[in-house]
Amino acid sequence: MNLIIDVGNTRTKLAVFKENSIVEREVVNTSSILKSLKTLKKSYTKINNAIVSSVGHVDDKSIQYLKKKFNFLELSHETPVPFTNLYATPTTLGLDRIALVCASVQQFSDKNVLIIDAGTCVTYDFINSKNEYLGGAISPGIRMRYQALHNQTAKLPLLETKIPEHFIGNSTMTSINSGVVNGILNEIDGVINQYKTEYPDLTIILTGGDANFLSKQLKSSIFANSNFLLEGLNFILQYNIV
Listed in sequence order, the DSSP H helices in 84-138 are: 95-107
- Please enumerate, by residue number, every residue annotated as part of a binding site for substrate: 87, 94-97, 172
**Which pLDDT does position 199 carry in this prediction?**
97
* Torsion angles phi and psi, residue 113, rounded to 5: -125, 130
CB-based contact 169:178 (threshold 8 Å): yes
Instruction: List the binding residues for ATP.
Output: 6-13, 120
Say what the pLDDT of residue 9 is: 67
Residue 141 has phi, psi (to 5 degrees) of -80, 180
Tell me the domains of the chain and their CATH numbers.
Answer: 2-74 (3.30.420.40), 84-233 (3.30.420.40)
SS3 222: coil
**Phi/psi at 220 (nearest 5 deg)?**
-80, 155
Task: Provide the annotated active-site residues.
Answer: 96
| pLDDT score, position 87 | 96
The Cα–Cα gap between 180 and 13 comes to 27
- Measured CA distances, 152 to 48, 93, 100 (Å): 49, 29, 32
Residue 180: DSSP 8-state: I
Q: What are phi and psi of 165, to 5 degrees?
A: -70, -30
Residue 195 burial by CB count (10 A; 0-12/13-18/19+): exposed, middle or buried? middle
Q: Which helix (H) or strand (E) holds 197?
A: helix 183-198
Binding site, residues? 6-13, 87, 94-97, 117, 120, 172
Q: Supply the pLDDT for residue 162.
A: 93
Ordered DSSP codes for 43-93: H-TT--EEEEEESS---HHHHHHHHHHSEEEE--TTS--SSEE--SSGGGS
The one-digit pLDDT tens for each residue of the chain (242 residues) are 999 999 876 688 999 999 999 999 999 887 788 889 999 999 999 999 999 998 767 888 889 999 999 999 999 999 999 999 999 999 999 999 999 999 999 999 999 999 999 988 999 999 999 999 999 999 999 999 999 999 999 999 999 999 999 999 999 999 999 999 999 999 999 999 999 999 999 999 999 989 989 988 888 778 999 999 999 999 999 999 86
For the question of whether the overall pTM of this predicted structure is more than 0.75, the answer is: yes
Contact 235, 102 (CB under 8 A): yes
Contact 192, 200 (CB under 8 A): no
Question: What is the number of alpha carbons within 13 Å of residue 179 lying toward its C-beta?
Answer: 16
